[in-house]
Homo-oligomer: A and B are copies of this chain.
Amino acid sequence: MANEVFTSLHRVTYAWCTMGDHVYYGRYLDMLEAARGEFFRHLGTTFLQWQEAGLAFPVIECHLRYKTPARYDDLLSVDLWVIRLDRLHVEFGYRTLKEDRGVVLEAATHHIGAGLDGRPRRLPPNLVERLQPYVRAIAPTDQPPTP
């Protein structure tokens, strides 16, 4: 039950690539945002619905480690979990893999609960509860190699 990981798939378009046939270093943040959006939809309340309820989750910090370049038409899987969770903060961890299981990107984004005026605002208990199963101290381990 605990130690859950949410996985979403993202196809690399030309719009994400740059000279030299690889994904531009900033476009991965577009992908991570799309992954978070799908994750919240999966949890049952979308970012749009939270916003309509007066709550936003601005990013205050992020960290990206680029391992292997992703290329045009790659189908990337983004594993997403929770690194840290308290009343005001949630930090997500991400690992992005190619179809051959090669690691493209390891990343973390740190968010704060905020009202629409930008002021800090506690994360609602029913959100914290739904995030809880995704908290894990360490990154998901690699699949054992296929024989």
**In the bound complex, do residue A46 and residue B33 qualify as a contact, i.e. CB atoms below 8 Å apart?**
no
Give the bracket for the number of chain A residues in contact with chain B: 35 or more
A52 CB, nearest partner CB in chain B, Å: 11
**In the bound complex, do residue A34 and residue B48 qualify as a contact, i.e. CB atoms below 8 Å apart?**
no
Kindly identify, within residues 40 to 68 of chain A, every residue whose CB is under 8 Å from any CB belonging to chain B.
46-48, 56, 58-66
Contacts of A6 in B (CB 8 A): none
Contacts of A101 in B (CB 8 A): none
* Interface residue? A11 (CB, 8 A): yes
A59 CB, nearest partner CB in chain B, Å: 5
**In the bound complex, do residue B26 and residue A30 qualify as a contact, i.e. CB atoms below 8 Å apart?**
yes
**In the bound complex, do residue A20 and residue B73 qualify as a contact, i.e. CB atoms below 8 Å apart?**
no
> Most B CB atoms within 10 A — which of A24, A28, A34, A69?
A24
Interface residues of A (CB under 8 A from B): 11, 13-15, 17-21, 24-30, 33-34, 37, 46-48, 56, 58-66, 69, 72-73, 118
Give 13 A-B pairs besides A15-B30, A25-B29, A26-B33 with Cβ atoms closer than 8 angstroms. Answer: A13-B34, A13-B37, A14-B19, A15-B24, A15-B26, A15-B29, A18-B19, A19-B72, A26-B26, A47-B72, A58-B66, A61-B64, A69-B118
4 closest pairs, A vs B, by CB? A26-B29, A15-B30, A48-B73, A17-B19
